[in-house]
Structure 1
Amino acid sequence: MAKNNAKTPAAAAASAGDKSRLKLILLIAVALLLAVSLSVGATWFFLSRGDRQAESATDEVAEAAAPGKQPAIYEDLAPAFVVNFSQNGRQRYMQVSLSLLARDQAQLDALKVHMPLLRNKLVMLFSSQSFDTLVTPVGKEMLRQQATATVQELAKKEIGELVVEQVLFTNFVLQ
């Protein structure tokens, strides 16, 4: 007997339904993959454009800052200066911590070579002060300006340029 190759109508409908269901699942997967790809691409585009804008903004800031003032560099002079002086036969002490404000690190490093001489000049300046003058805010400010002038004078003499803009008191104790 010959075998019947024809499928029953129910089997034919089931295989057609499987094929259409498979096509639907495949179509949904492709659409989902396309949506994810578009989302990732758009995110990358917008974020990289923001990076380029931020990078160009920082370049503009750096170019604008180059001709003007450079950022401040602070160099602490450690250890703190401790000097003694006599006031009406009474021994007095002063402790001062200093920071130097400069703009060029290379020049500041060149000044560090002369640090023993700088510290000596500052100790001599501090020990020559009067206690009555130093207890007033005006006296402290005058001492700060004298210290700045001393440091600038030394830098001009040894390096040939004004390296330090200001000398700042970070700690000031009188006893």
Structure 2
Amino acid sequence: MEDKQTFTISIYTENNVGLLNRISSIFQRRHINIESVNVSKSEIKSVSRFTLLVKLTEEQVQKIMGQIEKQVEVIKAFYHKDDETIYQESCLFKLSTDLLIDNDEIQRVINSSKSRVININKDFFVLEKSGSKEEVEELYHILDKHGIMQFVRSGRIAITKPQMRVSELLKAWQ
């Protein structure tokens, strides 16, 4: 049996209400968990891009792609393995300002993790970190010992290493 691996699925679509629900139901019907979802505009005006992270066999992802592309609003969908993409996650931590003032270790953590303070007031400060899932997780575990007031993280954002002629394809669609 083929081993499961991580795939980044990029779906270029018209921006229509309900499409995210229909796409997620394709995975739900097959009992497949979506690890992360990100939706944003793409490089082509009026075209949205869904970026999904899933763990499947290549045979499963190929079948899923066929179902995704059957959706009327889907222009084109692609899947890539991790070594074919450049990807990041982004996160925000809300922490007590007292930690910043009274704890030298927090300053070292901020510097060594290549994170940055983006907001500070008398009660809390907000720390931003972009990086791999592992880097975000590592920083979370370090800061968790000091008391995280709030935490949020994005889904994967990714671009491909191989050239994709998606812009030409999408321009032809317009």
TM-score of the two chains, using structure 1 as the length reference: 0.24
Q: Structure 1 or 2: larger helix share? A: 1
Q: Structure 1 or 2: larger strand share? A: 2
Structure with bigger gyration radius: 1
The structure showing larger relative contact order (alpha-carbon pairs under 8 Å, at least 6 residues apart) is 2
